Amino acid sequence: MSAPIEGLLIVDKAEGPTSFDVVARARRALGTRAIGHTGTLDPLASGVLVLLVGRWTRLANLLASDDKRYRATVRFGTSTTTDDRAGEVADRGDPALLDEARVRAALTGLRGTHAQVPPAYSAIHVSGQRAYQLARRGDTVELAPRAVEVFSLELVEWRPPDAVLDVHCSKGTYVRALARDLGRALGVPAHLHALRRTAAGTWTLDDAVPAALLEDAPAARAALRTGTSALRGATLVPVDDRVAAALRQGKRPAIGAPATAAGVAHRGEELVAIVAVEDGCARVLRGFG
């Protein structure tokens, strides 16, 4: 009996394709439709895209909460309808008014936890439709601010009219919106000109395979990461045969493990279930069969 096709596939997405295009290529290469991801990248963005294959798609909610890191280029002088270079020009201003010191000072107000208004062209649901669908139709899209956290935001290079930034932020942060808001803080319209995700959680570009590898089915299979070593950053809960059997039956066995809201119970390299550990007992949140 052949081993199941499952695990993590860390891909370096190129500019141009959508994240769903990459998922479709992975499905063809691996011969399975059971492929998800831990967070999309816009078509104009590149970098780390974490794909979940087979039963590992059940880990999506657990891993999607990982923070992200980016190298972003903000261009001053124009804002756009999409907050990136794909949109139509919405406003113009003179970037000659800016200097490196002013840009560095303005970054301070965007660090930490704050309420961010997502871009109108986003995948957020509004009245049962995606916001970008309404925006493309010409409808006015008003999105409620969302709490995001920007752990660090540093100016790497100032080359007028562009500012190159390193961004470390929480799940759900729109770097396009950071670019828009930076321009507003400085009084000069701005948009996101380029974006590269350098890390998703503990996975970095050094761990990623080029998206072109997905044209080679054997190579794509060989690049799959499985077992506990592929769960860097997740809470691991080792269990013995007795506890593993009880979890598979939906029971709440006693377990000598620290309390956790969500961890991965495993017997050796075999994943058993996603569990919560409460009051010395393990409760199944989602099983692995």
pLDDT at residue 127, rounded to an integer? 65
pLDDT at residue 232, rounded to an integer? 86
Q: Domain map of the chain by residue range?
A: 7-66+202-229, 68-200, 235-287
Residues in the chain, overall count = 289
Q: Which residues of 144-165 are buried (b: 16+ CB within 10 A; e: fewer)?
A: eeeebbbeebeeeebeebbbbb
- The parts of the chain modelled with pLDDT lower than 70 are 1-2, 121, 125, 127-129, 131-135, 137-141
Residue 232 near residue 203, CB atoms below 8 Å:
yes
Q: In terms of Cα–Cα distance, which of 219, 217, 221, 272 is closest to 3? A: 221
Phi, psi of 39, deg, nearest 5: 150, 125
Q: What superfamily does domain 7-66+202-229 belong to in CATH?
A: Pseudouridine synthase (3.30.2350.10)
pLDDT at residue 243, rounded to an integer? 96
> Got the DSSP string for 93-130?
--GGG--HHHHHHHHGGGSEEEEEPPPSSSS-EETTEE
pLDDT at residue 62, rounded to an integer? 85
94 annotated active-site:
no
> Domain 68-200 class?
alpha beta
C-alpha pair distances (Å), 244 with each of 6, 218, 251: 20, 32, 10
Residue 257 near residue 250, CB atoms below 8 Å:
no
pTM over 0.95: no
Q: What is the pLDDT of residues 239-267, one digit of tens each?
A: 999 999 999 999 999 998 899 999 999 99
The Cα 19–Cα 42 span in angstroms is 7
* The CATH number of domain 235-287 is 2.30.130.10: yes
Same fold yes or no, 7-66+202-229 and 68-200: yes
pLDDT at residue 2, rounded to an integer? 64
Among residues 12, 42, 84, 181, the one annotated as catalytic is: 42
